[in-house]
Structure formats: C-alpha cells, structure tokens
Amino acid sequence: MADRVYLFDTTLRDGAQTQGVDFGVADKVAIARALDAAGIDYVEGGWPGANPTDEQFFKAPPALARARLVAFGMTRRPGRSVENDPGLAAVLDGKSDAACLVGKSWDFQVHVALGIPLDENIQLIADSIRHAHARKGEAMYDAEHFFDGYKANPDYAMACLEAARDAGARWMVLCDTNGGTLPDEIEAIVRQVAGRIPGERLGIHCHNDTENAVANSLAAVRAGARQVQGTLNGLGERCGNANLISLIPSLVLKMGLETGIDRDGLKRLTGLSRLLDERLNRAPNRHAAYVGDAAFAHKGGLHVSAVEKDPRTYEHIDPALVGNRRHIIVSDQAGRSNVLARLRDAGIEIEPDDPKIATLVDTVKRREFDGYAYDGAEASFELLARRALGRVPEFFRLDGFRVIDERRWNARAELVTLSEATIKVTVDGERHMTVSEGNGPVNALDTALRKVLVPAFPVLEAMKLVDYKVRILTPEDATKAVTRVMIESDHPALERWATVGVSTNVIDASYNALHDAITFCLMRLAGAEAAVA
C-alpha cells in the first residue's frame, strides 16, 4: 500500500494574498466546492475576523462532502489570554472543521516582529494550539519561517514544533515563508525533523520566490512530510505558493503516492485550473505544466513525426490522465507530419502522398516568412488548408469598404476621435451596403459587417471577439511597417478559435483576421448550403 499524502489547499487564504486577486464570497464558495469534488483533503477558506468576506464565508460555508474546512488565524496576542483574544475567538467561532494557527519559529522574527522573549512565544504557541484543539478537535500549527529559523537556531525551531505537538496539534507544518530555501536544504532539514516528529504529522508549505516551491514540496515529501500545502495555479503572497495543480500529478503519477484524488479526480485538474482563471477573469497560462494548452502541443517536425508513431516519444504522460489533450501545431517549424495530423484532427481526408501536402507545407513556411503565425491561429491554418483543397464555401463576399476617422471637439469641449465604416458585401446573391460608427476603425468595420451578416446568419449574433493583438513585424520601417493582427473569438457552441491577418495596413490586416474568424464560425455552425449563391 502506497503512503498516504494529505492535500491541503490554501487558495482561498494564501491565494487571496496574491497581488491583484480579490475573491468575493461567491468565488470562495465555488472554488471550495470544486476542490472538494476533486478530492482535496483540507480546504483553507480564509481568516475569519480578518475581513468581511471571510467573516461571511465562515458564517455560512458551503457543505463539503469530504474535505475538511479549515479556518486560518494566528497564535494569541502577547499579553492576552486565549479566552480574552478577540482575534483568536473570531477564528474559532466561525463554522469550520479545523483550525490552522500560524506562529513564529525563527528567533529573529520573535525578537523583531513580536518583540517578546523567546519563551513567551513558545507559550503563545502552546496555549493557542491547546485552545484550538479543545474548541475544534483538529488543530494545526503553521511554523512560520521554519527553515530560516532552523538554520539560525535549530533547537529553538524544534522547541516551537514540540510545543505545538505537545499541545495537541495534528499537523506541524514547516513553512518556507520567504521562499528562499533550495530543495536539497529542504530535504535535509525535513529528514532531520522527521527523526524527532513522525512524518505522518509533518506538513510542508512552500513559497515560490526561487521558482522552487513545487520541487521543495516534493523534496519534503521524499524526506517524510505527509501533508502538502499549496494553491491552484500557484497563487499566493509575492511569487506565490507551491502549485497544487503541478504537485498532485507528480505525487500520484511519478512518486506513486496515494492521495484523496483518484483517477477521476486527476482528470478534473485541467478543469480545476481553468475554473480559477475564469473566476479571476484571467487568460489561462498556455505553458502551465500538465494542464496548459501547450503542455502537450507539438511544433517541431521531428517531434510530430515521432509522436504520430507513438506519443510516448515526446510526452511524459498521457495528457488525458490530467484532463488535457494533445495539440499538433503547424508553423515554419513543421514538416508533412504536422500538416497531415492537423488535417486529420480537422476531419479533412487526404491521401498521405497527395502532392498538395508538400505544397501546403511550402505555403505555410512562405506565409510565416511574410509574417503569418499559424501556431497561434489554428483556425486560419484550417481555412488555408481547406482553401488549398477547394473546400471552403464563400458565405459572403466583400465588395469593398471605406473607413474614415474624424478627430474633433464635442459639445462638452472634449477632444474625441470617431470612426465610421462603410462596407459593401454580397450575401446570397444580394448586394448590401451598410454604414456603422465605432470607437475605432476596426470596431466600426466589425459592427458594419455584423449589421449585414447577422440577419443572414443568426448564429453570428452570439459570436464575440475576445482578444485582439497587433504586432509590428518590421519595426525598422517605422509607420510603414508590416503588421500582424491576431484575433481570438468565442461562441457558446464552439471552443475559442484564433485567426491571423497580415498587411502593411493595420485595418486591412484586421479585416483579414476578422474575415477568417467569421468564415470559420459559419463553416462550423451555418453549413455549406448557406454560401454565396
């Protein structure tokens, strides 16, 4: 039987200390439920009494099926008894299954931050943990700055842990609070500690200030720690905490350890990571280990050729194990294998020795040289390929457009710039002309185009432009430079798709990317019968 490692999520507490993150109660409830459903053992919900959000969350926390809800707080204030410390009372009064109290374990911190004698801090820890244990049944001690403290004064750091243990703490959590300790030091120190306090009662809490939080946590587990703290996507104070989304598959799939997360739970990891990004209104990190879009994306021709033979040639695990999937990318680094694989994924049937494949590879490389970037615009590649094979219906035809920008003073004496686009389009054999205003030329063009197209293709009503990026490709040409426009679009019935346009004229490049975006949407949702008569 593999060793059991307990997973402790602090997204809602240390994660809330991330610059730019501000959870509401609804966010906390949704995230706590998702963590519970995935199989996390402990969900630290926040610090009751520290702010109104956490106060409200702990007044009516979500019912969790199996995870234990943990309230965070600190040891009692010097000069107060545990019964007479309103801060500690608030922590313990909230509805929770366990309490985790942070306390000093570095003599330097006791002198500087608390300004009290070393013995008094030991007393704070003992009293507070004993009280939390009595009130909650399960108490944990977060030994703040444990590794710095152990290096400076190992006897004192150990005395802090032992005070917590003797007062009834279920877990003594060794914190690399400043995140400056390296994996070999963590492993050696945890091994020494585990010689005196059994690993089954030791936890690890690492910060990522040297980009080693995950490696440090794994090192601690190797040395015997059996509770691992971390956050979704590595949120947390300063550079963040150990990223549980990377840690969990490494613990389970690489180290063969048992956690509360079964095979189904592992498959939820990609979704769990995305859920947090959605809550924070952030774009997912494409390059995130295990769960990023690029984690199993193959670009180099040599890689793809081998992956097509057996994915294990360039994949450390099967992406499906963590709910991710493989992507084959076409770009100027591609060979025939990339193109064939992408065509197959897009459902385009073609004989592998069809000469059109080699032509397509050459076209991609030439167009990338001209500025196109198909590795970020898979929808434009699919359209390019289908056009080369004569398989893209023409849903609408642009007969021309004119865009005017006007900068003027408005009635409130403010300087404003307005754009106006006139567009001529043929749909279903009928010629249309529309005019639209916008807050910029691309917005005016988009609005004018939609005015004509939405009545003919109602599916476009729900299509949204979610990202628009312009890049100057030849800066040496200054204002005459070639520009590349990348557009990302979304529709409730489709996965997001990206398109690209290139021109010396930024409006022209934008139109080309927009045209591809709309055509792709119609190709997927409107059917070929709707094409131009």
Ligand X SMILES: CC(=O)SCCNC(=O)CCNC(=O)[C@H](O)C(C)(C)COP(=O)(O)OP(=O)(O)OC[C@H]1O[C@@H](n2cnc3c(N)ncnc32)[C@H](O)[C@@H]1OP(=O)(O)O
Q: Name the residues that contact ligand X, by CB under 6 A.
A: 14, 17, 47, 50-51, 74-75, 77, 102-104, 113-114, 124, 144, 177, 237
Cβ–Cβ < 8 Å for 53, 24: yes
| Amino acid at site 385 | A
Nearer of residues 164 and 502 to ligand X, judged by Cβ: 164
- Shortest Cβ contact with ligand X: which residue? 50
Which run of H or of E encompasses 162? helix 154-166
**In angstroms, what is the minimal distance from the CB of 102 to ligand X?**
5
**In angstroms, what is the minimal distance from the CB of 109 to ligand X?**
8
Cβ–Cβ < 8 Å for 57, 45: yes
Cβ–Cβ < 8 Å for 383, 340: no
Choose, by CB under 6 A, the member of 9, 27, 144, 368 that binds ligand CC(=O)C(=O)O. Answer: 144
Quick one: DSSP state of residue 61?
Answer: P
Count of alpha carbons within 13 angstroms of residue 276, beta-carbon side: 25
**In angstroms, what is the minimal distance from the CB of 32 to ligand CC(=O)C(=O)O?**
18
**In angstroms, what is the minimal distance from the CB of 174 to ligand CC(=O)C(=O)O?**
9
Strand pairing report for 483-491 and 464-472: antiparallel
CA distance 279 to 502: 34
Which run of H or of E encompasses 25? helix 25-38
Nearer of residues 41 and 127 to ligand X, judged by Cβ: 127
* Total of residues contacting ligand CC(=O)C(=O)O (CB under 6 A): 8
Nearer of residues 34 and 220 to ligand X, judged by Cβ: 220
Binding mask 483-522 for ligand CC(=O)C(=O)O (x = CB under 6 A): ----------------------------------------
Nearer of residues 13 and 484 to ligand CC(=O)C(=O)O, judged by Cβ: 13
Nearer of residues 177 and 380 to ligand X, judged by Cβ: 177
| CA 264 centroid distance within chain | 20
Nearer of residues 142 and 368 to ligand CC(=O)C(=O)O, judged by Cβ: 142
Choose, by CB under 6 A, the member of 44, 85, 127, 142 that binds ligand CC(=O)C(=O)O. Answer: 142
Cβ–Cβ < 8 Å for 377, 364: no
- Please list every residue from 12 through 71 that binds ligand CC(=O)C(=O)O, using CB under 6 A: 14
CA distance 102 to 125: 9
CA distance 121 to 156: 10
Nearer of residues 112 and 404 to ligand X, judged by Cβ: 112
Q: Name the CA dihedral angle for 18, 24, 26, 27, rounded to a multiple of 10 degrees.
A: -20
Q: What, of ligand X, ligand CC(=O)C(=O)O, none, does residue 205 touch, CB below 5 to 8 Å by kind?
A: ligand CC(=O)C(=O)O
Q: Is 377 in the site for ligand CC(=O)C(=O)O (CB under 6 A)?
A: no
**In angstroms, what is the minimal distance from the CB of 108 to ligand X?**
13
Q: Is the four-CA dihedral 247, 253, 259, 262 of positive or negative sign?
A: positive
Q: Is 138 in the site for ligand CC(=O)C(=O)O (CB under 6 A)?
A: no
Which run of H or of E encompasses 102? strand 98-104
Would you say how long the chain is, in residues? 533
Binding mask 76-105 for ligand CC(=O)C(=O)O (x = CB under 6 A): --------------------------x---
Q: What, of ligand CC(=O)C(=O)O, ligand X, none, does residue 18 touch, CB below 5 to 8 Å by kind?
A: none
- Shortest Cβ contact with ligand CC(=O)C(=O)O: which residue? 175
Q: Is 175 in the site for ligand CC(=O)C(=O)O (CB under 6 A)?
A: yes
Q: Is the four-CA dihedral 338, 343, 344, 350 of positive or negative sign?
A: negative
Instruction: List Cα–Cα distances, 143 to 158, 159, 257, in angstroms.
Output: 10, 11, 25
Nearer of residues 109 and 333 to ligand X, judged by Cβ: 109
List, in order, residues 6 or more apart from 401 with CB less than 8 Å away. Answer: 421, 422, 423, 424, 445, 448, 511
Residues contributing to the site for ligand CC(=O)C(=O)O (CB under 6 A):
14, 102, 142, 144, 175, 177, 205, 207
